[in-house]
Structure 1
Amino acid sequence: MKLIAFDADDTLWVNEPNYVDVKQKLGEMLAHHIDEDTLSQRFYATQIRNLELFGYGAKSFILAMIETAIELTNGAVTGVEIQQIIDVGRQLLDFPIDVLDGVVDVLETLSKKFDLMVLTKGDLFDQESKIARSGLGHYFKHVEIVSEKNELAYQRILQKYNIQPADFLMIGNSLKSDILPVVHIGGRAIHIPYAITWAHEQVTEEQLTGKSFTTLGSFRELSTLFDNLNEEV
């Protein structure tokens, strides 16, 4: 392997629970306007509708909250309530980074043997800030932040670094973004599931049929996996 790439959010550090928490607070603020199930459905629909315009990340999330609040209250949401939504959403831009168990130890070991990359999607400023706050940046030779993680994005990155798909390994928690696109272009992938997966990142069993990749139970298991590979070599 000439390059090992890691997803960031919910692979290297905790991310999705922060969004779940903010969404719950949105529901509490709007409880006197709309029921929780309707809010959840409409909010998700707004997020997906806005992806092509605003992409992923905290800022897009905040805009979707405001837009959903306006739509579901028929414009009755007050300026004070919108300011409250913005204030709650700001938490997503500077929350303390909780690095997942085993990440530091594994990166410390692998960075001495391989070229490592952070390969994440979302808002450039937001993702750069999280990488800096994580304290993990020095383990990575390369950082790539893309608007979407699909086959074309991976192909462009491999061309940029003159890497063949067979020499590339992607490690992440999202089957849709981190695993399937890489497998489809001939690369290798390791799936490390996280406790919470955003609905937009979920895939069907049919999409996984015939796809070859490795699944691990935790980040720490990477050490054992690479040790076994070294012994085989």
Structure 2
Amino acid sequence: MLPRVLIDTAKIPGGGELRLIQRGTEFSIMLGANELMNSRLKGSEESLASLSCGKIQSRPQPRMLIGGLGMGFTLRAALAKLPADASVTVAEFVPSVVAWARGPMAHIFDGCLDDPRATVAVEDVADLIGDVRSHYDAILLDVDNGPDGLTHPDNDRLYSRKGLIAAREALRPGGILAVWSAAPDHAFKNRLIKVNFEVEETVVRTNGERRGARHIIWIATRPS
């Protein structure tokens, strides 16, 4: 059996620590006992991007904000779908995750960070959302394992009523908020509806259409 090797650790601002683990050609990012992501399992992250792009790719100069760089699966899938005049900003709260993307996991990212449409901001995605009004066509959130602040307690504000209103106001009319989750959350879905989003809930698989664990993606549309 191949050994698990600790490649690096990263302090999360405000508390907590991420660990980058390698086992053969496989990488994982861990928070305590929780595996946040694994380089073998990318299907649901790619679905987050493809479902979102399907809603906005016909818009002129679409603007997308992705919360969480992770292993770049959502970014790569978005860039593959979006037109040449699109712009994608990725907000990553932990600087070391960006360093891992350009270092030990550079082959997984496959040059997507150098795409002229992509910008990485080492910032809290909640701050980027709160700074603008009617700016983005899509906001994609994959910063936790669902609509709660697992990675960073302050992330709870993203999923609160106030945070959802901020996201709605940061979107252009007809824009979408897409949220990835490892499991259903009926209370969160109801909060989306209560702040005047039109909500679609889709079940996706971690390894493509028919394989792997079931995850949830909510596509919440701001009314036009």
Regarding TM over 0.5, the answer is: no
Which structure has more relative contact order (CA 8 Å, sep 6+)? It is 1
Structure (1 or 2) with the greater helix fraction: 1
Structure (1 or 2) with the greater strand fraction: 2
Provide the TM-score with structure 2 as the length reference.
0.40
Provide the TM-score with structure 1 as the length reference.
0.39
